[in-house]
Structure 1
Amino acid sequence: MSTIRITKQFNFETGHALYGYDGKCRNVHGHSYKLSVTVIGSPITDSNHVKYGMVIDFSDLKKIVKEEIVDVFDHATVFNKNTPHVELAKELSERDHHVILVDYQPTSENMVIDFSKKIKARLPKNIQLHSLKLQETESSFAEWYASDNE
């Protein structure tokens, strides 16, 4: 039986600020993120199965990632809740802005770790998360691989 990797790509807009950072990213700013989600498994071999020939239906993978990541993070501003940014977050929330408080510095590296946990928890047990690529700009991205995190 063959093992196949399939990938689905997603786009969302998110703002953030890096508390304590020594560069421009300490200021509130945003990115047009591109997230590539790759899962691995074997295509269904039962010719009577409605998903015959698929590892996972792309629409099923889309539903998971949309609910866990895209719908949550799109047009939100992310702050580390363990910093004074919590005051700014409170002010923005009171003005009806969509704010997410996380317990990590909201870098692409930490976001991709967070995303991996959320996606893995929702995948069917016969499908494994292989990798994630979170692209912050045209030339900058963070990657997470299951093989590096076993």
Structure 2
Amino acid sequence: MGNNIRITKQFSFETGHALYGYDGKCKNVHGHSYRLDVTVIGRPISDKNNVKYGMVIDFGDLKKIVEEEIVDVFDHATVFNKNTPHIELAKELDARGHNILLVDYQPTSEMMVIDFAQKIKPRLPANIKLHSLKLQETATSFAEWFAYDNN
């Protein structure tokens, strides 16, 4: 009994990347002002004695999870696939004090949003499910992850 409600918190961060082997401009190191929408689903807390009464999850609690797992890690970092020759460039930049993040996937919006889902899901309370993620790379381009597409 009760109503499932979806709530969304939006985040933004600046991240650089390069797509090794790509046949366009994105093979070059460049950056984006990403916007990430995180939507969770659950039932509002019905216990009137709970300080979070009426909330699915406190927006502040969701913010803490996403900032720790995603924003604090990716913001002002440059992401490279560690399984490509970009590893040499990454090591050079790292040696010069740059914030380098090595991942085991091609750092496209599509692959990043899969990674983000895998990082956020285990941090959510048991009664809250990750419903969807939307990672906006530019004003007109984004990737979305939906739980019901990935059961």
- Secondary structure of 1:14's partner? strand
1:118 aligns with 2:100: no
- The answer for the alignment partner of 2:80 in structure 1 is 79
- The answer for the alignment partner of 2:45 in structure 1 is 44
Structure 1 unaligned regions, length at least 5? none
- The answer for the alignment partner of 1:103 in structure 2 is 104
1:9 aligns with 2:10: yes
- The answer for the alignment partner of 1:60 in structure 2 is 61
Q: Distance in 2 between matches of 1:106 and 1:131?
A: 19
TM-score, reference length from structure 1: 1.00
- Percent identity for Structure 1 against Structure 2: 79
1:25 aligns with 2:26: yes
Q: Distance in 2 between matches of 1:117 and 1:111?
A: 10
User: How far 1:121 moved relative to its partner?
Assistant: 1.2
Give the RMSD, CA atoms, in angstroms.
0.2
* Count of residues in correspondence between the two structures: 150
User: How far 1:31 moved relative to its partner?
Assistant: 0.0
Q: Distance in 1 between matches of 2:103 and 2:122?
A: 18
Q: Distance in 2 between matches of 1:64 and 1:121?
A: 10
